[in-house]
């Protein structure tokens, strides 16, 4: 099948679809036994720099579930590592930064990302495009706020205290940091598009910590620059968690598709985001830990409410939880294909 005719790309573009497309955030590399097997003894950042492993892990959920899109196996901190930031991904913790960035001198650690800095990304995407055939590949990057939080806090954070302290207290430094990260994010996304990714997702996972007025002042100009910098024929998805109050302003940031977590029903989300957008979401990932009948009921409700949106890409409201039974995801994929639009 022609890629442009794929249900996923058509839904992103708000065109009629043969069926509601579905993929899952963090579908690659979490709960799958075949993933745990190939990752045995291989540190996360090593896996992210090994094209054969990237290709294999990216393909695993496509083979097993028959999802409508693949997501490139990598991590949001990979481009930061590539420009020399001293960081590691610690098992069970997440990204940890050796020297957190907290002043103007710290910005020197963030040199621009050059097209040649991620050769393994380019190589893996080129191989994947051949292997995937008619299934689109989603490239991704972390958004400046979420990347900034790891860099400022030095690791995962519940409240993003130091991040917000810089945002409120040192706006010049904040905008300088966001500006540098925006350049890096744009370069990271363009490398993936140039290699053959057919859509991109910007993960601003932790931006729900910020109120709409502050989003507008401190974050929106940078997000806009990212989406404006991607060629318009490549669908752009914008995702964050806890963004119920931000959906209106996220609708202004320039993406084609806005991701919705499980806290706001899709019909209400469509109203908040405004016209001219497709929506992605929004099953609570924890529901997959309940019996199938519960999953089925909720998924059918989401499909029904999703009809209010101009386009609907079925997904979870956040990533697959590591304890999820893969059989639940397989059944869910089949259910969406059978009972969605089309």
Nearer to ligand 1CP, 22 or 89 (CB): 89
The contact pattern for ligand 1CP, residues 308-327, with x = CB under 6 A and - = no contact, is -----------x--------
We find the least distance from the C-beta atom of residue 342 to ligand 1CP, in angstroms, to be 25
Is the Cβ–Cβ distance between 337 and 36 less than 8 Å?
no
User: Under the criterion CB under 6 A, does residue 44 sit at the interface with ligand 1CP?
Assistant: yes
CB atoms within 10 A of CB 198: 24
| Catalytic residue status for 30 | yes
* Residue 73 interacts with ligand 1CP (CB under 6 A): yes or no: yes
Query: Which one among 8, 65, 140, 218 touches ligand 1CP, defined by CB under 6 A?
Result: 140
Of the candidate spans 20-28, 79-87, 178-186, 255-263, the one that interacts with ligand 1CP by CB under 6 A turns out to be 20-28
Nearer to ligand 1CP, 95 or 235 (CB): 95
Would you call 156 exposed, middle or buried from its count of C-beta atoms within 10 A (0-12, 13-18, 19+)? middle
For position 183 contacting ligand 1CP by CB under 6 A, the verdict is no
26 catalytically annotated = yes
Q: Which of 8, 10, 22, 27 binds ligand 1CP (CB under 6 A)?
A: 27
Q: How many angstroms separate the Cα of 257 from the Cα of each of 210, 216, 265, 314? A: 21, 19, 16, 12
Contacts of 105 (CB under 8 A, 6+ apart): none
Q: Which stretch binds ligand 1CP (CB under 6 A): 72-80, 178-186, 188-196, 214-222?
A: 72-80
Please tell me which residue in 14, 35, 68, 75 is annotated as part of the active site.
75
Query: Considering only residues 184-223, where is the footprint of ligand 1CP by CB under 6 A?
Result: 203, 205
Contacts of 327 (CB under 8 A, 6+ apart): none
| Interface with ligand 1CP, residue 26, by CB under 6 A | yes
297 catalytic, yes or no? no
63 is catalytic: no
Q: How far apart are CA 17 and CA 168, in angstroms?
A: 44
* Start-end of H helices in 33-102: 33-39, 44-47, 51-65, 78-82
Strand 87-90, strand 94-97: pairing? antiparallel
Taking CB atoms, the residue at the shortest distance from ligand 1CP is 94
* Residue 242 token pair: 């806890």
Q: Where are the beta strands (DSSP E) in 190-333?
A: 199-203, 236-239, 257-259, 278-283, 312-316
Least distance between ligand 1CP and beta carbon 134 (Å): 20
Token pair belonging to 20: 């509601």
Rank residues 156 and 212 by Cβ distance to ligand 1CP and give the closer one. Answer: 156
65 belongs to the catalytic site: no
Degrees, nearest 5: CA angle 241-243-249: 135
For residues 87 and 98, the answer to whether their CB atoms sit within 8 Å is yes
Residues 84 to 123 in contact with ligand 1CP, rule: CB under 6 A: 89, 91, 94-95
Q: Catalytic site residues?
A: 26, 30, 39, 75, 150
- Site for ligand 1CP, rule CB under 6 A: 26-30, 44, 71, 73-76, 89, 91, 94-95, 140, 146, 156, 203, 205, 319
């Amino acid at each position: 099948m022609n890629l442009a005719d794929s249900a996923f790309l058509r839904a992103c573009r708000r065109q009629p679809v043969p069926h509601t497309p579905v993929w899952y955030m963090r579908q690659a590399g979490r709960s799958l036994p075949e993933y745990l097997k190939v990752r045995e003894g291989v540190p996360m950042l090593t896996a992210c720099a090994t094209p054969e492993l990237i290709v294999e892990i990216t393909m695993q959920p496509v083979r097993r579930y028959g999802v409508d899109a693949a997501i490139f196996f990598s991590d949001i901190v990979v481009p930061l590592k590539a420009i020399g930031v001293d960081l590691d991904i610690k098992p069970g913790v997440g990204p940890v930064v050796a020297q957190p960035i907290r002043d103007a001198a710290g910005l020197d650690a963030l040199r621009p990302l050059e097209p040649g800095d991620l050769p393994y990304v380019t190589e893996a995407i080129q191989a994947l495009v051949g292997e995937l055939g008619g299934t689109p590949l989603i490239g991704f990057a972390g958004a400046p706020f979420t990347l900034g939080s790891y860099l400022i806090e030095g690791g995962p954070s519940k409240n993003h205290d130091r991040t917000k302290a810089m945002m409120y207290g040192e706006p010049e430094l904040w905008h300088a940091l966001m500006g540098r990260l925006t350049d890096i994010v744009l370069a990271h996304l363009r490398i993936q598009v140039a290699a053959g990714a057919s859509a991109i997702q910007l993960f601003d996972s932790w931006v729900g910590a910020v109120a709409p007025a502050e989003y507008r002042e401190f974050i929106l100009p940078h997000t806009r620059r990212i989406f404006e910098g991607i060629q318009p024929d490549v669908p752009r998805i914008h995702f964050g968690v806890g963004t119920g109050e931000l959906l209106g302003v996220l609708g202004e940031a320039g993406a084609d598709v806005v991701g919705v977590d499980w806290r706001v029903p899709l019909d209400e989300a469509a109203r908040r985001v405004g016209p001219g957008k497709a929506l992605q979401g929004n099953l609570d990932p924890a529901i997959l830990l309940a019996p199938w009948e519960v999953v089925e009921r909720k998924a059918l409700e989401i499909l029904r409410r999703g009809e209010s949106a101009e386009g609907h890409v079925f997904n979870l409201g956040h990533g697959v939880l590591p304890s999820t039974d893969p059989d639940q995801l397989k059944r869910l994929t089949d259910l969406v294909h059978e009972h969605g639009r089309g």
